[in-house]
Amino acid sequence: MGMLEGKVAIVTGAGRGLGREEALAMAKEGCNLVVNDISGADEVAKECEKFGIKAVANFDSVTDYKKTAEMVEQANSKFGKLDIVVNNAGIIRDRMIFNMTEKEFDDVVAVSLKGTFNLTRHAAVYFRKMGKEDANLKNFGRIINTASDSGLYGNVGQSNYGAAKSGLATFTLIVSRELSKYATVNCVVPSARTPMTTDETPKLVEWMNTKTQEGFDIFHPAHFAPLVVFLASDKARKINGEVFRAIGDKVWVYRGWRAVKMIENGGKPYTPELLAEQVKNELMKNLPSKMEGVATPDVLFGK
């Protein structure tokens, strides 16, 4: 019996890359699926059905508020319920801020951040309704959002994508509290080889094809999918409002902004002059690197 036997999930952005691997991994564990993407969803749905589950394709854009409501309705009409939402859909439009157009910013935010809100909002209404009708369900629902390293650390040329993905981590923390009676809400941060990280970002191709000395394909997207399967399962019922980052065979749990150092002025308000002196000579001295915790293949795997 699979870890997700009899469950029903919506996976967005599942026509290729990470979303595809997540859908396949969930299907292997017995989960019925609404496979969403603007292209490729039908092919992935057929692949998933080879594992003996039921799957239906959905080609709607997550940027459409009404269409995401229909995704929840589709899951109900096709399978009789909804248990899991994996918000994976995202796009990149890399550009330095002085060259970025309004449309390039809006499009990325619309898919990654607004799209996640759209589906989460409708799923939340459903999970709350079901939870109120049957208290025995407890926090039966699962929502898994997808952020990125760009959102955690910031990548040059991705102010749009990074802002959206950072917003998703905070969105997760807040919504996890609001839905704690009815669903868990967690965030995952993948580092994996996908069309978005290779075809659309050629400078990452060499890095994303890194292997260990033993031949382990570090960034193969299939390595990331088990984390999503686990968080979608009943075994993760007590895990809520967390951010997990995964690369290859490694998984981290992250916590958000934290104070790393402080100065004070003995109960008196600061003057600009005093701040100029103490910030330079005290507050900014010996700070940890802004990139602390960033994992590269050579550091992680000894390449």
Q: Which residues are annotated as catalytic?
A: 148, 161, 165
Q: What per-residue confidence (pLDDT) applies to 212?
A: 75
Average pLDDT for 227-241 = 97
Residue 297, pLDDT > 60, answer no
Count of Cβ atoms closer than 10 Å to residue 249 Cβ: 11
Lowest mean pLDDT segment, chosen from 13-17, 71-75, 150-154, 161-165: 150-154
Count of Cβ atoms closer than 10 Å to residue 258 Cβ: 5
Domain locations in the chain as residue ranges: 8-254, 260-303
φ/ψ region of 64 (left if φ > 0, alpha if ψ in -120 to 50, else beta) reads beta
Q: What per-residue confidence (pLDDT) applies to 153?
A: 85
Fold held by 8-254: Rossmann fold (3.40.50)
The residue ranking higher by pLDDT, 146 or 198, is 146
% of the chain residues with pLDDT over 70 = 90
Q: Could you tell me which of 212, 144, 131 has the C-alpha nearest to residue 175?
A: 144
Q: What per-residue confidence (pLDDT) applies to 200?
A: 58
User: Taking the mean position of all CA atoms in its chain, how far away is CA 259?
Assistant: 25
Q: What per-residue confidence (pLDDT) applies to 291?
A: 67
Q: What per-residue confidence (pLDDT) applies to 165?
A: 96
Rg of the chain on CA atoms, in Å: 21
The residue ranking higher by pLDDT, 296 or 113, is 113
Q: What per-residue confidence (pLDDT) applies to 205?
A: 65
